[in-house]
Structures are given as C-alpha cells and as structure tokens.
Amino acid sequence: MSLNRYIKVPSVQSGKFNLTNLNRIDFDLDPDQVYDMKNSWIELNMNVTASETTSGKSGVYKVKSVMNNHPETKLENVMLVKNCHLRSSKNGMLEDIRDVNILRSNLSDLMDSSTDQRGKAYKEVGHLFENNGLKSSLFRELHKEGNVSSRDVQAPVRIKMDELFNLGSLKEFDCRKLGRCRAHIELDNVLTFNAQTEAEMGGTVAFNDVTGANNNIVTLTTTDSFDVLEDSPFWVGQVVKVNATGAGGAGNVVDQYVKITEILYQADRTVRITFDDKLPDLTGGQSYTVVTMAPVPADTVSFTIDFSELVTQIVGNPSQMADKLTYTTYSTEQYNANGLTNFQRLFQVEPEAVSLMVMFPTDNNGVVSSNDNVSDYRLKIDNIDQTDRNVKPHSPLYYNILNDVMLDANLAVANLNEFSLDAREQGEDKRTTGVRLLFVPAKLEQTQREKNIQVSINATGAGVKLVNLYKLVVREI
C-alpha cells in the first residue's frame, strides 16, 4: 500500500488571472517534503461564460477555444505557459526555460502518435471534432437526455510538471536537500474562446409534421434516428429556433425561440424534444410541415482564470538523501532573422550542452515550429562541418540526425507525420494544411569551454524570421 498522498498548494498570488498582464503565477514547495513530480501538476481553474441577446432567453451555449491568429492549430494545455523557472533556496536557479510552450508542444508532436494525440484531446483546453462531427468542451456539462438542465462548469486545465521541467519527471524531488523551492510560470496570450457556430453544433435538424387540433405544442420528434444518443446535437437547457410551414390555414412559424426542457431518446432511436414556449395553436385540418429546429449560437464569450493550484504528490517513504543530483534542462536563445534568405549566424553554446534543437515559431504568437521556405541548412561546430553536405528538410539525412538527437535527450520518436492535428477539420485524422513541422537538430559533446556553432540556412520567399535555439545542458547540484 502506497503511503503517498496528494496536497494542493495554492499559488502565491491570488486570482483572478489572465493571459496578458495578470499572468505570473508562483508556487512554493515545503523544504521538509519529498515530492513525486511525475505525478504532480498545475491546475488553472477556468470559467467560460457565453450569452446572446437574439432570443431573449438564457441558456447553455457551446464554446470553442482557438489559438490567436492560428485557428488551425490544436491547443494543448502546455501552450498556455510561455516561460517557466524552478528555483531553490540552497542551490539557486535549477531550471529556466523561455518559450517552453514552443519546445514542449513540438516535441510532443514527435513523441505522440496520432492516436495518442487524439486520445489526449478530451483533457486539453482545445478540442478536436469528434467522429460525430461535433466538438466537446471542458467547460460545459451537457445533459443529452432527461429534464436536468445542462450547466456551465469551472474546469481545471492541468499542466503536468514534466511538461514544463525536466526535473518534473523525478519520482523523488527532494526539497530536504534543495531547501524551499519555488516554481514560477508566465502565461502566454495564445488563447481565445469563441461561440461555436450553428454548423459546428449540428446545424438544422428536420422534425416530424404536426397535424390536427392542438393548443399545447411543446414537443417535437426528429425525423431521422440517431444510432447513439451522443450523435444528437441537442441538450437540455439549449436555446433553439423553430421554423415550420403552416398548412390548412395555419400561419408559418418563423424563428420562434424556445429553450429545451426535456429530451427523450425513444425506442426507435428518434429524439423527442420538449421546450418551454408552445408553438401557435392548430385547429382541426391545420398542420405544420417542413418543421425544423436549429441551435442558437452565443453572441458574447469571455473567460477568466479564477484561481490556480499546484497539485503535488508527497512521497510517504522517501529514499535517503543523495549526495548529488545530475539532471538535464534546456536553455533558450532567441533571434529574429527578419526574413533573410541566406541566414548566417554564430552562436555560443554552453560547454555542458549535449544537443541542440533549432525551432521556427511562425510569428510572435505562433507555437508550431514551421517554415516551408527553408530549402537546406548546414551546421559548423568549432569550425568543423557536422555533415558532408547541406541537409535538406525531411530528407533521410534530416531524419537520421533528428532521431539521434531525440534519443540523446531520452525521447523516443513515435510520429513523423510532421503535421499538427487540425482543430478546424472533421474526421479521424485530419492534418493542418501548410503547417509542416521543421527543426534543425544537432548532436553536441560536453567540452571544457563554450562551443561556437555556426548556423547557415538557405531559404526562399519570405525567408527565415523567428529562430529559437533550445540547448539541452547537463547540470549537477
């Protein structure tokens, strides 16, 4: 039986937080405890509110999260963190990684298969389309049957410690040796919430005709059946608009707004909808034909980060304190090439660096490493060419170097599709068009002094713009 237990550590700062100016969050770790960082995570507790004025009603509205300027990119939770560092009172700075969201999200695209990426989507702040063509959300509890109203929920967005820090993978992070430790994160303004459109919520659905005298028309039944209830686009508490063509002297129903109060999934797999405001009465011989119901999108969507916590697992029976701790971390260097088509730059890299990964953020708000303009590149380390020819992206030589660099970092390559999953597309495995991943990897060796690395890149068109160097370095405390 495990003696480990979970403890929630509140952030030093009180909420509410946002992604622009109130975006720095700190957590303090007890110097008398040993933490299982592998099973610890940061929770950003978020609320997403939505409303509309067209119907005059208040319902539960579906929302979607998109990356600013890049709606095609699937949002992962780690993308919300721009910079992070981990500091101890006895040993100073342990890790300090800038643009950690670019580093980790692109590495995860290499390490996670397409199936793994889709499997993790349910807990990410950004969701993919499901197989039924609909999008789900962490921030809505939708009741597809019965009479209990759906509701908006405050949902925790979890960012695992091993997604931020290399030390986050330790099963025993010993603060008895390190002293009081502080984890700091700076959130990045990459996220916007919008209302889901009518089409994204299932579009217009046909219902059976209503015939005969009736002065209480508050139920309608779908014409088509649904193999499973999850395929139904309706939920209790949803605001919809009803349209129908009057026959036999009955007037037309034009955009009558109602709110669903009950849903019944019937034996023939049709869905019976009950709503609050009845349709105009029918007398004998009158009827409604071409009856349809369509969801009403929200007009306004906003979100807040109400508070944040670090959920830690305390090791109940820790090992004896080690004399020293050897670990790896990343240091970052950033450069703007301003569209050069012949990029040449000399970088000085730490003596303890063992590998290098160059990434190309698409712009100041971009997270995916991509540049289709790069035609080839070459690296020199201390004036020695690392290859006998220029390396072309996505060539066999490119993949060979990339695989070696990932293995040196103890990371396994499981996916070479090289396209991020597309958040806009429906289907089992859609890929973002025109956003192909690109890296410039290099193997290094520990040296007695700084290494001089010359990066030469040939490009066409818009050339090379933003460049991030991520250097894997060995540290010892």
Three-class SS string for 364-382? CCCCCECCCCEEEEEEEEC
Q: Is the pLDDT of residue 293 over 80?
A: yes
Instruction: Tell me the average pLDDT across 161-165.
Output: 95
Q: Can you give the length of the chain in residues? A: 477
Residue 23 DSSP class:
-
* E-only strand ranges, 89-189: 92-97, 140-141, 151-152, 155-160, 173-174, 181-187
Give Cβ neighbours of residue 218 (< 8 Å, ≥ 6 apart).
274, 275, 276, 277, 278, 279
Q: Is the pLDDT of residue 138 over 50?
A: yes
Position 431 scores a pLDDT of 57
Give pLDDT, residue 3.
Answer: 79
Please compute the mean of the pLDDT values over residues 99-103 and round it to a whole number.
95
pLDDT > 80? residue 93: yes
Mean pLDDT, to the nearest integer, of 82-104?
Answer: 95
| pLDDT on residue 73 | 80
Mean pLDDT of 184-191: 94
Q: What is the pLDDT of residues 448-473, one digit of tens each?
A: 999 999 999 999 999 999 999 999 99
Strand bridging mode 239-247 / 287-295: antiparallel
431 and 438 in contact (C-beta within 8 Å)?
A: no
CA dist list (Å): 340 to 78, 105, 464 = 30, 26, 5
Is 75's pLDDT higher than 80? yes
Whole-number pLDDT of residue 420: 74
Mean pLDDT, the chain, whole residue set: 91
Amino acid at 99: D
Asked if residues 222 and 270 have their Cβ atoms less than 8 Å apart, the reply is: yes
Instruction: State the DSSP H helix or E strand holding residue 466, giving kind and residue range, or none if neither.
Output: strand 464-476
Q: Tell me, what's the pLDDT at 135?
A: 67
The pLDDT assigned to 187 comes to: 96
Q: What is the pLDDT of residue 65?
A: 87
For the record, the structure tokens of 191 come out as 């996220």
What lies within 8 Å, CB to CB, of 456 at 6+ separation is 343, 344, 377, 378, 379, 380
Please give the average per-residue pLDDT across 166-173, as a whole number. Answer: 94
Q: In the predicted model, what is the mean pLDDT of residues 408-416?
A: 86
Written as six digits, the tokens of 138 are 């962490």
Q: Which residues are CB-neighbours of 346 under 8 A, at least 6 positions away? A: 452, 453, 454, 455
pLDDT value for 395:
94
- 213 φ/ψ angles, rounded to the nearest 5 degrees: -60, 130
3-class DSSP assignment, residue 7: strand
Instruction: Specify the pLDDT at position 428.
Output: 47
pLDDT tens string 3-35: 789 999 999 999 899 999 999 999 999 999 999
The reported pLDDT for the residue numbered 4 is: 86
pLDDT of residue 242 exceeding 80, the answer is: yes
Q: Quote the pLDDT of residue 406.
A: 92
Mean pLDDT across 69-96: 91
Does pLDDT of 103 surpass 90?
Answer: yes
pLDDT in tens, 389-410: 999 999 999 999 999 999 888 8
Q: Which two tokens stand for residue 450?
A: 């700084």
**In this predicted model, what pLDDT tens digit does every residue of 416-433 receive, in sequence order?**
888 777 776 654 445 555
